[in-house]
Amino acid sequence: MTTLPQSTTRKLGLVIDLDTCVGCHACVISCKGWNTENYGAPLSDTDAYGADPSGTFLNRVHSFEVKPPILKDQPAPEAQLIHFPKSCLHCEDAPCVTVCPTGASYKRVEDGIVLVNESDCIGCGLCAWACPYGAREMDAVEKVMKKCTLCVDRIYNENLPEEDREPACVRTCPAGARHFGDFADPDSNVSKLSAERGGMDLMPEQGTKPVNKYLPPRPKDTLSEGAGDIDILAPYLEPVAQEAKGFLGWLDKTLEKL
Amino acid sequence: MPKDQPDINLSPKVSDEVRKTTCYMCACRCGINVHLKDGKVAYIEGNRDHPVNQGVLCAKGSAGIMQVNAPSRLQNPLKRVGPRGSGEFEEISWDEALQIATDWLEPIRKEAPEKLAFFTGRDQSQSFTSFFAQNFGTPNYAAHGGFCSVNMAAAGIYTMGGAFWEFGQPDWDHTKLFMLFGVAEDHDSNPIKMGIGKIKARGARVVGVNPIRTGYNAVADDWVGITPGTDGLFILSMVHCLMKAGKIDLTYLAQYTNAPCLVNGDEKSPEYGLLLRDENGKELVMDRATGKLTPFNQKGVKPDLAATHRHAGISHKTVMQHMAERYLSDEYAPEAVAERVGISAKRIRTLAAEIARVAFDEAFELDHEWTDFRGKTHKTMQGRPVSFHSMRGISAHANGFQTCRALHVLQIILGTVEVPGGFRFKPPYPKPATVHPKPHCKVTPGAPLDGPHLGFVHGPDDLALKEDGSPARIDKAFTWENPMSAHGLMHMVISNAYAGDPYKIDTLFMYMANMSWNSSMNTRGVIDMLTDTDANGDYVIPRIIYSDAYSSEMVAYADLILPDTTYLERHDCISLLDRPICEADAAADAIRWPVIEPDRNVRGFQSVLCELGAKLKLPGFTNEDGSQKYADYADYIVNHERKPGIGPLAGWRMGENGTQSGRGGVNASQLDNYIENGGFFVEHIPEGANYYKPWNAAYQDWAVGMGLYDSPQPYLFSLYVEPMRKFQLAAEGHGDRQPPDHLRARIKATMDPLPIWYDPAPENLVDDFPITALTQRPMAMYHSWGSQNAWLRQLHGHNPLYLPTKLMTDNNLTDGDWAKVTSPHGEITVPVLEMAALNENTVWTWNAIGKRKGAWALDENAPEATRGFLLNHLIHELLPPKGDGLRWANSDPITGQAAWFDLKVRIEKATPPAESQPAMAPIKSPVGKGPSKLSWKVGK
């Protein structure tokens, strides 16, 4: 068993905007590229060109279709597709740490990042079982547990220009749907964004107190039948004429005023 | 720190060196930082300074390392030794390969240069490859535009002097309502994602019009799941609503468009329907101030949109009046179109009303003084924050040209083009259609062609016809069958060459085009055409030369393979003469350079052409003493001048006082200058010149200074496209060049100078095949390329057919079942999955995930080959026979654009086969198979 710190000085994590994520997988592959080359063992791929390719990814995008409930007397709302990127949430009460028999899994005191010390990892896989989010992956070649490091080797890296000291997934996200910062600081970009947009915990009932927050999609399809905006807009199409001749009269009158 | 918290290195060395070049994992052309360790590629990220991507990078771009390491890379030049299609090759030297090519091509050039057909697929060096073809003297050259998005490009250029993507972009900083129609997600992909993120962050609204709610449509605030092929009708219905409500920008229409131009109303005249012009050829308008006919560009003119000019008993009315007569008709009322477009009348009205609200109620002004081409100074710039974007989804239909035109007309009547908050052009656009070259096709044995192959026709005189009226080009571009085919028709080349219609060719030379697989309609048929022999046992298409970097499905069907490099091993230029990467506020171009050297016996294709051109003694590739003019492509990029002072790259050209932008002499250090600057060049447009560009004197002067054109070219937007009327006049019997009788009715009907909508469904036998089948490209894959990439293929390793809930239920299907999909042309049997956010009469799948066994160095049991599939087997390059004995192309009758998305099918549940059907026999791989495990760190 491994103990968690009582508290951490900073709480570094991500805000992921589900209203903006287009599901392009840019974060998935950028993460794969950086973390193959950097912290710990490379992220391997087995059967890479074969029938059942399977590789280690620290971040994956899942897509879910949502069918909003049909309200009485209203047409069925359009179905929606939500892209949901998922990686380690760097929980405050991380069950993956406490379950670790060797102390290889740990949460950093200074910033709250949950890491695996690969030299102490025996590859037992208990942490992956304990994580309710499925955010850890056993590398099939190296037989060590891999997980999001929040790019701990980027965010403080003095060999990188200051503007690049953020996780690879955040730096690469084309839609700007990923944000990195310190949730312990109420004035940080991530704290403010989460407060403004109703940032949510993933599966709060698990009691893991995840640091990462998800911004929910904004209400959609407000210009469809049965939605609020539809009747307010009607006056904008008040006719100036019914047919071509009347239109010309209107045109002439209006041009005179220009 | 607790005692069990290890001390880790937080500042590891990132790389030995960063080299900045241009991505080629799709057509977007982002700037990339390539990190090298021990001389090898270790990591790729976006270049923050680059105008296209500003630091971000998509999945494909980040996976570039796996493309450069892909086991599918060709290793050596290859000569076919077995029958075509067997994949039996012998590795040969470059000397031998070039000698073979020379021996084949030299006699053709001497006797009949048109017997070479040179088509270059997803080429990013078209201004160079066309230069080669022009020097060779064949009229048979084009790239892939004809089967991609020529409708979008051509409709934009004829209507307003530019279209979307490379031509222009929404004003992301000011737009408040962004509406996008049927997009291909590899076209301008990172900029669109960045733009959507940016505008959503400040609360602007995104409306997506697409039968399928994925990607951008998934994040759209409103999704309009339109019936495929009906976008034009939907747009014209919104035009109807907006005109009827007077929600159109009259000042804009009067000043900057041909809405006030007068249309010849004399039914007996050979100029009936053409615009009235003065003796200098300037379009005439009625001046409200004087009541007189006046050229549109005269200082102080107040063009009258409502005017009628009566002369000799004839009334000549304005374009605006013609538009009112057409679009105010009840035929375009929401109630009349709702059922066909699959959108309720109320919703069509609501969307039109929202557009009107934002365009007019949220209008604003920028405090930029500017002077228009008539010499009038405006204190501010009027902004209208509604913008549109679209690509292949609306253009790859037989009604695509007119649909794209309709979308541009909608933008223009709102006054949102090239204004703050609207759609903005990127240099070298705007550029009127008349400034572009016209097509050239005059063949002289042993000499170059008489001019550029591709261009814009302005009437029957510009068609590419021989003296006997037969098509001059093998693809029949610029003929009566498709007069405005600005990008050629690559998808018709093999079938026409096979049929010997309009004539037989000798050598088919292709680059980066997977024609025996996903880039052709009728894949099986094309394979048969490539392998069929005549009575003598000779191949019907006698010789095929192909250049590719990878072991694609096409390799086995060529006689000679010229192996290309990957994108990190080569020189390229992303040129203003070609498909540029500019921004609305700046001109820009870029290079690729070999950030690593090839470890195989391969050469950049363009460098090979430099050598081949010299061996063939082509004038543009040979010095006066007969020696080779350009040592390689880099030499060409730096030293070639299209005209004095204008070369492939606009940055760091040599002037009298050092380097300068745009125009200037050759600079021997130019590529070094680019490399020092991160691989690209940017020149910003001055403030006050950066909106209203077609009419803004300051912009026009800046563009002349940059060499974009030689004199100011202000022009009016063409709501009414006069050249189309000229083709109609010919079809009505006017003029010397006459269409064949069987095409007259179609030309009269489709070449309407104002946008129309017509339904391609009946020709595709919709009564028997009532469901539309579409493909889309996933954001993480580019055509067939992604499957060879070990990382990307894990994202999209196979492609189910997605069915809407209704079709799943109707056919008693559940996820994982298989269905037989039948079109008028063929059938496939494939796995299905339910998708609710989908037009209820549409099915779709990801494009080009399906692979042929043996290609791309994949295992024969790869899911791409066993569960993946192509819809191409269901699509024919010709329409189903109509019983008139004629070949009717499955293309837009105006441009020849391949009508991929007109495909109609029916569906029934099938007994699951062992693998997707049709399953083709494996082809022998020239490169073997990839390794099973990948686990490495570069430099360790």
Structure tokens at B809: 């239920």
Structure tokens at A106: 């740990």
Establish if A32 touches chain B: CB-CB under 8 angstroms: yes
Contact B801, B844 (CB under 8 A): yes
Which residue matches tokens 């339910």?
B834
- Angstroms from B425 CA to nearest CA on chain A: 22
Which amino acid does the sequence have at B11? S
What integer pLDDT is reported at residue A72 of this predicted model? 80
Query: pTM here?
Result: 0.97
Task: Check A237 against B352: CB less than 8 A apart.
Answer: yes
Compute the distance between CA of residue B456 and CA of residue B485 in angstroms, rounded to an integer: 8
Nearest to A130 by CA among A151, A114, A149, A110: A114
Establish if B9 touches chain A: CB-CB under 8 angstroms: yes
Nearest CA in chain A to B7: A117
Task: Check B65 against A159: CB less than 8 A apart.
Answer: no
Establish if B385 touches chain A: CB-CB under 8 angstroms: no
DSSP per-residue letters across B108-152: HHHH-GGGEEEE-TT-S-HHHHHHHHHHHT-S-EE-GGGGTTHHH
Structure tokens at B682: 């940017």
Nearest to B223 among A221, A233, A241 (CB): A221
Task: Check B246 against A240: CB less than 8 A apart.
Answer: yes
Establish if B333 touches chain A: CB-CB under 8 angstroms: no
> Which whole-number Å values give the CA distances from B317 to A175, B285, B322, in the listed order?
48, 10, 7
Confidence of residue B936 (pLDDT cuts 50, 70, 90): confident
Which candidate in A1, A16, A29 is best for mutational testing of the B interface (most B CBs within 10 A)? A29
Q: Which of A21-25, A175-179, B363-367, B880-884 has the lowest mean pLDDT?
A: B880-884
Mean pLDDT of A187-199: 98
Size of interface A-B (CB pairs under 8 A): 316
Query: B-chain residues within 8 Å CB-CB of A19?
Result: 200, 219
What integer pLDDT is reported at residue B885 of this predicted model? 85
Structure tokens at B733: 């019997």
Kindly state the DSSP code that residue A103 receives in the 8-state scheme.
S
Establish if A15 touches chain B: CB-CB under 8 angstroms: no
ipTM of the complex: 0.97
Nearest CA in chain A to B63: A29
Mean pLDDT, chain B, integer = 96
> Which whole-number Å values give the CA distances from B92 to B72, B77, B83, B548, in the listed order?
18, 5, 17, 16
Q: Parallel, antiparallel, or unpaired for β B658-660 and A145-146? A: unpaired
What is the torsional sign of CA B752, B758, B764, B765? negative
Task: Check B861 against A117: CB less than 8 A apart.
Answer: no
- Angstroms from B118 CA to nearest CA on chain A: 33
Nearest CA in chain A to B191: A174
Which candidate in B200, B205, B794, B866 is best for mutational testing of the A interface (most A CBs within 10 A)? B794
Q: What is the pLDDT of residues B460-486, one digit of tens each?
A: 999 999 999 999 999 999 999 999 999
Establish if B789 touches chain A: CB-CB under 8 angstroms: no
**Crossing angle, helix B605-615 and helix B126-136, to 10 degrees?**
20
Nearest to B428 by CA among B127, B724, B133, B656: B127
Compute the distance between CA of residue B504 and CA of residue B222 in angstroms, rounded to an integer: 52
- Angstroms from A206 CA to nearest CA on chain B: 26
Say whether pLDDT at B499 is over 70. yes
The H-assigned helical ranges of B456-501 are 490-499
Q: What is the pLDDT of residues B565-578, one digit of tens each?
A: 999 999 999 999 99
- Quick one: CA torsion of B894, B895, B896, B897, rounded to 10 degrees? -120
Establish if A172 touches chain B: CB-CB under 8 angstroms: yes
Query: A-chain residues within 8 Å CB-CB of B71?
Result: 49
Nearest to B556 by CA among B27, B17, B78, B176: B78
Say whether pLDDT at B443 is over 50. yes
Domain A12-215 = CATH 3.30.70.20: yes
Cα separation of the two ends of chain B: 30
- Angstroms from B322 CA to nearest CA on chain A: 9
Nearest CA in chain A to B940: A37
Compute the distance between CA of residue B869 and CA of residue B852 in angstroms, rounded to an integer: 9
Query: A-chain residues within 8 Å CB-CB of B780?
Result: 24-25, 29
Say whether pLDDT at B774 is over 60. yes
Q: What are the backbone dihedrals phi and psi of residue B596, each rounded to the nearest 5 degrees, phi first?
A: -135, 160
* Three-state SS at A213: strand
Three-point CA angle B671, B677, B680, nearest 5°: 70
Kindly state the DSSP code that residue B586 receives in the 8-state scheme.
E
* CA B682 centroid distance within chain: 23
Compute the distance between CA of residue A57 and CA of residue A52 in angstroms, rounded to an integer: 15
758-787 in chain B: CB under 8 A from chain A: 779-780
Establish if A252 touches chain B: CB-CB under 8 angstroms: yes
Mean pLDDT of B855-876: 97
Query: B-chain residues within 8 Å CB-CB of A44?
Result: 933-935
Mean pLDDT of B393-398: 96
Contact B724, B751 (CB under 8 A): yes
Establish if A102 touches chain B: CB-CB under 8 angstroms: no
Mean pLDDT of B673-688: 97
Q: Which of A65-74, A83-92, B921-930 has the lowest mean pLDDT?
A: A65-74
Nearest CA in chain B to A36: B937
**Crossing angle, helix B605-615 and helix B94-111, to 10 degrees?**
60
187-246 in chain B: CB under 8 A from chain A: 189-190, 193-194, 196-198, 200-201, 207, 213-216, 218-223, 225, 241-246
Establish if B795 touches chain A: CB-CB under 8 angstroms: yes
Which residue matches tokens 């300037």?
B282
Mean pLDDT of B238-260: 98
Structure tokens at B78: 């290859």
Establish if B731 touches chain A: CB-CB under 8 angstroms: no
**What is the 3-state secondary structure of B41-62?**
EEEEEECCCCCCCCCCCCHHHH
Compute the distance between CA of residue A198 and CA of residue A216 in angstroms, rounded to an integer: 7
Say whether pLDDT at B203 is over 60. yes
Establish if B861 touches chain A: CB-CB under 8 angstroms: yes
Question: Which residues make beta-bridge pairs with B417?
Answer: B423
| Domain segments of chain B as ranges | 79-147+434-568, 163-429, 720-753, 762-910
Which candidate in B3, B52, B62 is best for mutational testing of the A interface (most A CBs within 10 A)? B62
DSSP per-residue letters across A160-204: S-GGG-S-HHHHH-TT--EEEEETTSTTSHHHHHHHHHT-B-SSG
CB atoms within 10 A of CB B280: 7
> Which whole-number Å values give the CA distances from B184 to B165, B520, B929, in the listed order?
11, 18, 31
Say whether pLDDT at B2 is over 70. no
Q: What are the backbone dihedrals phi and psi of residue B87, each rounded to the nearest 5 degrees, phi first?
A: 75, 15
Compute the distance between CA of residue B696 and CA of residue B693 in angstroms, rounded to an integer: 5
Mean pLDDT of B758-776: 96
| Domain segments of chain A as ranges | 12-215
Compute the distance between CA of residue B447 and CA of residue A85 in angstroms, rounded to an integer: 59
What integer pLDDT is reported at residue A245 of this predicted model? 92
Q: What is the pLDDT of residues B898-916, one digit of tens each?
A: 999 999 999 999 999 999 9
Structure tokens at B165: 């993507």
Mean pLDDT of B33-48: 97
Kindly state the DSSP code that residue B382 receives in the 8-state scheme.
E
Nearest CA in chain B to A75: B344
Contact B72, B857 (CB under 8 A): yes
Establish if B937 touches chain A: CB-CB under 8 angstroms: yes
- Quick one: CA torsion of B837, B840, B842, B845, rounded to 10 degrees? 30
Task: Check A20 against B288: CB less than 8 A apart.
Answer: no
- Quick one: CA torsion of A141, A142, A145, A147, rounded to 10 degrees? -80
Establish if B551 touches chain A: CB-CB under 8 angstroms: no
Compute the distance between CA of residue B339 and CA of residue B328 in angstroms, rounded to an integer: 19
- Angstroms from B327 CA to nearest CA on chain A: 9
Compute the distance between CA of residue B887 and CA of residue B882 in angstroms, rounded to an integer: 9
- Angstroms from B656 CA to nearest CA on chain A: 38
Which residue matches tokens 């409502």?
B306
Superfamily of the domain at B163-429: Dimethylsulfoxide Reductase, domain 2 (3.40.228.10)
Establish if A76 touches chain B: CB-CB under 8 angstroms: no
**CATH code of the domain occupying B79-147+434-568:** 3.40.50.740
> Which whole-number Å values give the CA distances from B545 to A225, B103, B177, B508, in the listed order?
57, 12, 49, 6
What is the torsional sign of CA B343, B871, A85, A130? positive
Say whether pLDDT at B1 is over 50. no
Q: Which of B18-22, B153-157, B606-610, B878-882 has the lowest mean pLDDT?
A: B878-882
* Count, residues in chain A: 258
Compute the distance between CA of residue B689 and CA of residue B700 in angstroms, rounded to an integer: 8
Task: Check B221 against A37: CB less than 8 A apart.
Answer: no
Nearest CA in chain A to B357: A236
Query: B-chain residues within 8 Å CB-CB of A83?
Result: 218
Establish if A65 touches chain B: CB-CB under 8 angstroms: yes
Kindly state the DSSP code that residue B335 receives in the 8-state scheme.
H
Q: Which residues of B432-441 are buried (b: 16+ CB within 10 A; e: fewer)?
A: bbebbebbbb
Task: Check B2 against A109: CB less than 8 A apart.
Answer: yes
Kindly state the DSSP code that residue A233 receives in the 8-state scheme.
T
Fold (topology level) of B762-910: Barwin-like endoglucanases (2.40.40)
Compute the distance between CA of residue A145 and CA of residue A115 in angstroms, rounded to an integer: 10
Confidence of residue A1 (pLDDT cuts 50, 70, 90): low
Compute the distance between CA of residue B690 and CA of residue B705 in angstroms, rounded to an integer: 15
Three-point CA angle B106, B111, B116, nearest 5°: 60
Nearest to B678 by CA among B34, B167, B72, B138: B34
870-909 in chain B: CB under 8 A from chain A: none
Nearest to B795 among A25, A46, A80 (CB): A25
DSSP per-residue letters across B784-838: TGGGGSTTGGGTSS--PEEE-HHHHHHTT--TT-EEEEE-SS-EEEEEEEE-SSB
Which candidate in B935, B936, B937 is best for mutational testing of the A interface (most A CBs within 10 A)? B935
